[in-house]
Amino acid sequence: MARRIAAGAAYGGGSIGLLGAAAVGVLLAEVQLAKRQVGGGIAPVPPSADGRYGVAFTGPAEPLRFGLLGDSTAAGQGVRRAGQTPGALLASGLAAVSERPVDLRNVALPGARSDDLERQVSLLLADPSRTPDVCVIMIGANDVTHRMPATQSVRCLTTAVRRLRTAGAEVVVGTCPDLGTIEPVYQPLRWLARRVSRQLAAAQTIGAVEQGGRTVSLGDLLGPEFEANPRELFGPDNYHPSAEGYATASMAVLPTLCAVLGLWPESDRLDGARSEGMLPVAKAASQAAKEAGTEVTGARAPWALLKHRRRRRLPGTTEPHPHPHAEAGGSTRLERHPGTDTGTSPRHA
């Protein structure tokens, strides 16, 4: 199915959907019940985390330019402090590993689907002097919940990856999360949500890798933790992650973000005990969709490298300094000292 979706996206097919008509009819009652319960609370407006991180590393090297695109997960909806958003967590981690300042620009939009990526990429590339060095895209959940045709979803994502790569930016895609982990969703909708989420994630991987990007499967990364501690890892609306949930997801993406910039040691030695290996890209995509935290990067076509990078503890984050290119009169923020609380827990290190 993932191969069919990716092929349809590449060659103009638009009829492959994630939910069949019969399944939709059977599950309408479950959908309505889930809608009444998901979002029962109120998710706060995502705090702006744009600005400069790692100012202690200021030196002769130019700051790294980091762009973040996607939906509410990328925007950080569900938390109230800038330092708790995935953008701040990843920018702080990238600054610590590279020992260079990092300028973050987040253009993600809560509620966005993949067809909004064209607008978001245009915003990032509008100023050629500020083209990002690396971008992270986190998208897909709203495509599933709004029944967007999978081929259209993947086509929009691959176009975004291609535009960013053509502009010179490295790209890491956090693929569609497993919607079967959402607490208020019951069977059989939970089973179907898991199935179609994985199908889309696998198809996203095929499309992104073919355009020169890397992917990290978010999948059910938080599944066991959501089931064990739903009030701890879900935000106030029972749908978006909490600060600790975002920290857990960010720890899965950070190693690949560093590796794509050459900041993480790359080893030619694959760990068979961890199911690492060289596989056909479609098979690697399918395997990654089943196991969260898995990285897929392209090798010689049609092969791809499947890796399971170890998650590292994120460094203490800081609130961003105002971006040096911010307009006069823009908002200012105070920096917190490194090592202060970020909402992470040692058990997720």
In the block, residue with structure tokens 């355009």? 211
Strand partners, 177: 219
**E-state strands within 82-228:** 102-106, 134-138, 170-174, 214-216
Separation CA 9–CA 278 (nearest Å):
24
- 92 touches 51 (CB < 8 A): no
Separation CA 145–CA 148 (nearest Å):
8
- 59 touches 101 (CB < 8 A): no
- The residue annotated as part of the active site, out of 48, 115, 237, 323, is 237
**DSSP strand pairing (134-138 vs 64-70):** parallel
CA distances in angstroms from 163 to 53, 70, 87, 214, listed in the order given: 26, 15, 21, 15
- The residue annotated as part of the active site, out of 98, 197, 240, 250, is 240
Separation CA 44–CA 252 (nearest Å):
24
- Alpha-carbon torsion (307, 96, 345, 67), positive or negative: negative
Q: Is 220 tagged catalytic? A: no
Q: Is 323 tagged catalytic? A: no
Which strands, in side-by-side order, build the sheet including 295-298? Answer: 51-53, 102-106, 64-70, 134-138, 170-174, 214-216, 295-298, 303-307, 277-280
CA distances in angstroms from 118 to 70, 141, 166, 230, listed in the order given: 11, 17, 14, 34
**DSSP strand pairing (214-216 vs 295-298):** antiparallel
- DSSP class of residue 347 equals G
In the block, residue with structure tokens 């975002």? 246
Q: Is 321 tagged catalytic? A: no
- The residue annotated as part of the active site, out of 72, 197, 250, 286, is 72
Separation CA 77–CA 47 (nearest Å):
8
Catalytic residues: 72, 237, 240
